[in-house]
Amino acid sequence: MTPELTAFATPLSQAASCDRGFMESGALGDAVPDGRLTLTRPSAFGASAFATPDLTVPVQRIGWRRAYRLSLAGTDLAAIVASLLIAQTVNDLRIQPQTQYTVWGIALGIVWLVMLAAIRSREVRVLGAGTTEYQRVAKATGIAFSAFAVIMVLFKLDVGRGYLLVALPVGLALLLAERFLWRSWLIARRREGLCLIGAVVVGNHQDATRITNEMIKHHHAGYRPVGVAYTDGTGGSEFAALDGRNLPLVDYGTLSDTVRATHTRAVVVAGELPGGREAIQDLGWRLENSKTELILTSQLTDVAGPRIHMRPVDGLPMLHVDLPQYAGLNHTVKRGIDLLLAGIAVVLLSPVLAIVALVVFLEDRGPVLFRQERIGIAGERFTMFKFRSMVVDAEARLALLAKQNQGAGVLFKMKDDPRVTRVGAFIRRYSLDELPQLFNVLNGTMSLIGPRPPLPREVAAYEGRVNRRLLIKPGITGLWQVSGRSNLSWEESVKLDLYYVENWSVTTDFMILLKTVRAVFGSDGAY
């Protein structure tokens, strides 16, 4: 190995394990000649990731990715078996023939597991981020039960009804729940700088810097920048300083050799390469028969994956982008889900609603509800309901506090707002003050998931694309709620709302609901 490659391989060979059971044998590859692995534990991907190693352990035969996938397979099996046993128990109560029921149940379980594998629901690139993993789990479940139902009809068997009514919903719920728990665990490890795939970013200085910083910021995607190769001749030192982090600078001319020598797992192409598409093709050829991924970044921003479709036509790759739709079947389904879940929530939470209403009233004998005019879909005004968390004359005092505004843009935020009552501080912390908005959902002025409902004075200050927030109904919760709440800047809040407006889906809504529960109990950014 040349001296240059040796210098680059030294920091790249320092791996970070997920834990003792989930270990990557070679930070970025599988093979280490002497059978030993040097480990460091980087802090937030800082320069310490390339510091002198503080721990040496034997290389494990199984990498963290394989171990993680095997763990998923095990819990998938447990979820399926549990759902089938529950269905079997229900069948016992109906006193049906058990042998035939059990045999078909085992057959269904096998097909179910096979479909989860066939649809690649455990593919590494879909784990930890996005909704693709959950969509594939749901799709595999749907195909397995559809095939089962068809067989039951063709052979005129009367054993499928119990499975369809019991095993299908229970099994799908268990599968999604265990995948969510595993994902939470994986994201927590990645937040610590573990369980990440090392990647070299290739591109001109501007594009490479942008992509590298995005990878560092969005660690949950599973990639960790470990080196940068500039294609425009910029940077003349051994290390390139990007966002305060020192990364090895790789010679673009020997990129493929360096990647192979250091067992780097991914090469991310940022923007165009000198030589255009032929250069990308040549790079792919040079990386053939290695375990390295070649990733091309898109120039499209804030466009979710499901809206992008690749269609090759006579060797010409055509990228189709579905334009956002603001009416139709999907929005009808969204409204139906809103009505169903909001109705159930009102019934189940009625004791909580009554208790909160009582304590709000008892504190100062003022009104229980706070009614405020907000702007909804297409700029329509509506009255939003909340439990009152401030003193009765809070709006009148607002002008006196204007100079203490800690918000950004057109938002007014104040961390220690003197207008908030003692009860109000508690119900705000856990978002209990927002429960009456369930009635806004029922009357059609709001949705469970959507952009933050703005005030008229905020909308009056909107400029340009910010008005696109009004294309769909505002929500009780949304991306802004699960991404920092009041800690977000105005620009970040707008960006999240616009992303949701253009890319929402039923699966995305389901994920936001799950994250909302975690955000509420974490109470981060709630004031």
Name the token pair of 104. Answer: 């078909």
Higher pLDDT, 244 or 353: 353
Give the Cα separation of 280 and 291 in Å (integer): 17
Name the band, by pLDDT with cuts 50, 70 and 90, for residue 315.
low
Q: What confidence tens digit (pLDDT) does each residue in 372-420 have?
A: 999 999 899 999 999 998 888 777 777 666 656 555 555 556 666 778 8
| Contact by Cβ (8 Å): 238, 7 | yes
Say if residue 171's pLDDT is above 50.
yes
- Between vectors from CA 284 to CA 278 and to CA 285, what angle results, nearest 5°? 90
- In the chain, where are the structural domains located? 3-62+196-297, 64-190, 329-522
Nearest alpha carbon to residue 417 among 430, 409, 408, 428? 428
Q: Tell me the average pLDDT across 22-33.
A: 35
Largest Cα separation within the chain, whole Å, is 79
Structure tokens at 5: 């490659």
Q: What's the confidence (pLDDT) of residue 176?
A: 92
Round to whole Å and give the CA distance between 179 and 128.
Answer: 10
Q: Which long-range contacts (CB under 8 A, 24 or more apart) does 252-260 make?
A: 252/202, 254/4, 254/5, 255/200, 255/202, 255/229, 255/283, 256/283, 256/286, 256/287, 257/5, 258/4, 258/5, 258/8, 258/9, 258/200, 258/227, 259/200, 259/287, 259/290, 259/292, 260/287, 260/290, 260/292
Running DSSP on this structure, what letter comes out for residue 131?
A: S
SS3 453: coil
- Between 322 and 450, the higher pLDDT residue: 450
Q: Which residue has the higher pLDDT, 212 or 11?
A: 212
Higher-confidence residue of 447 and 24: namely 447
Angle at 348 between CA 342 and CA 354, to 5 degrees: 100
For residues 257 and 263, what is the distance between their CA atoms, to the nearest angstrom? 10
Q: Is residue 37 scored above 50 in pLDDT? A: no
Element (H, E) at 312: strand 308-313
**pLDDT score for 18:** 58
Q: Which residue has the tokens 């120039």?
A: 299
The tens digit of pLDDT for each residue in 74-84 reads 999 999 999 98
**Alpha-carbon distance values, 476 to 123, 198, 276, 486 (Å):** 33, 38, 47, 14
HEC sequence for 178-226: HHHHHHHHHHHHHHCCCCCEEEEEEECHHHHHHHHHHHHHCHHHCEEEE
> What pLDDT score does 417 carry?
75
For residue 443, what are the contacts with CB-CB under 8 A and spacing of at least 6?
Answer: none
- Range 26-52 average pLDDT: 32
**472: which DSSP letter?**
S
Q: What is the pLDDT of residue 527?
A: 46
* CB-based contact 263:291 (threshold 8 Å): yes
What's the rounded Cα separation, in Å, for the pair 462 and 457?
Answer: 9
Q: Are 116 and 76 in contact (CB under 8 A)?
A: yes
Please give the CATH number for the structural domain made up of 3-62+196-297. Answer: 3.40.50.20
Q: Are 507 and 304 spatial neighbours (Cβ–Cβ below 8 Å)?
A: no
pLDDT in tens, 224-242: 888 888 888 765 555 555 5
Residue pLDDT, tens place only, 317-361: 676 676 777 778 888 999 999 999 999 999 999 999 999 999 999
- Length of the chain equals 527
- At 105-156, the pLDDT tens digits run 888 899 999 999 999 999 888 888 878 899 899 999 999 988 888 887 787 7
Asked if residue 273 has pLDDT above 80, the reply is yes
Considering 57-71, 368-382, 396-410, 478-492, the range whose residues carry the highest mean pLDDT is 368-382
Tell me the CA end-to-end span of the chain in Å, nearest whole number: 57
Residue 57: what pLDDT? 30
How far is 387 from 383, CA to CA, in rounded Å?
13
DSSP letter for 383, please: E
Q: What is the pLDDT of residue 381?
A: 95
Instruction: List the beta bridge partners of residue 198.
Output: 224
Percentage of the chain exceeding pLDDT 70: 73
Mark 14-43 as b/e (b = at least 16 C-beta within 10 Å). bbbbbeeebbbbbbbbeebeeeebbbbebe
DSSP line for 322-364 = PPP-SSSHHHHHHHHHHHHHHHHHHHHTHHHHHHHHHHHHHHH
Q: Where is pLDDT greater, at 98 or 463?
A: 463
Which residues lie closer than 8 Å to 519 by C-beta, 6 or more apart?
481, 482, 485
